[in-house]
Amino acid sequence: MVEIRWHGRGGQGAVTSVEMFALAAIQEDKFAQGFPSFGPERRGAPVAAFNRLDKQRIKIRSGIYYPDVVVVLDPSLMSTVNVVEGLKAEGILIVNTTTNPEEIRKRTGFKGTVATVDASRIAREELGVPITNTTMLGALMRATRLVEMKSAEEPLKGRFGRLAPRNMKALERAYNELKISKAA
């Protein structure tokens, strides 16, 4: 089983990302869970959301404390939230930032695989707004190879309707523009 923790702020789409990732995995006949954890429910407040993915039925219903992967939609959270807390040593940290993976490694002290992408720029260029949910979904798909990009097409159509092609383009660009630095 693979467990993923997402860090974002209210309104950035972390909860939508979790839902889209779970639905994409289900498209591939995998078992998946997606659920949020809210503090104060307001725009801009820190939000954590979670995914579990497995080839067999998932019976666990608890929170995720030792994720295999952490995805950070808003890099400003890294100054207030310990985003690598509990992240397995062999795990993957994926951050929306203009900074390179080695700088993020130094900043966080995380020695596992670090991946970065300027998801905010891609979202502004493709969607017209800096909402990075589908962009970071593409980064996750590339860094982990857990779910194929094409499996996101139907969930995106269902969620975004006529805006789905633009969201798919943002996902594809993040997938292709991701910079990965393997474990130190």
Assign domain 2-181 to its CATH superfamily. Answer: Pyruvate-ferredoxin oxidoreductase, PFOR, domain III (3.40.920.10)
Instruction: For the chain, list the strands marked E by DSSP.
Output: 2-9, 31-38, 46-54, 69-72, 92-96, 113-117, 179-181
Distance CA 17, CA 117 (A): 16
The structure tokens 């779970």 sit at 22
pLDDT band at 36 (very low <50, low <70, confident <90, very high): confident
Instruction: Provide the pLDDT for residue 40.
Output: 55
pLDDT of 125-175, one tens digit each? 999 998 899 999 999 999 999 999 999 999 999 999 999 999 999 999 999
Q: What is the pTM of this model?
A: 0.94
The residue extents of the domains of the chain are 2-181
Q: Note whether 22 and 146 are within 8 A (CB).
A: no
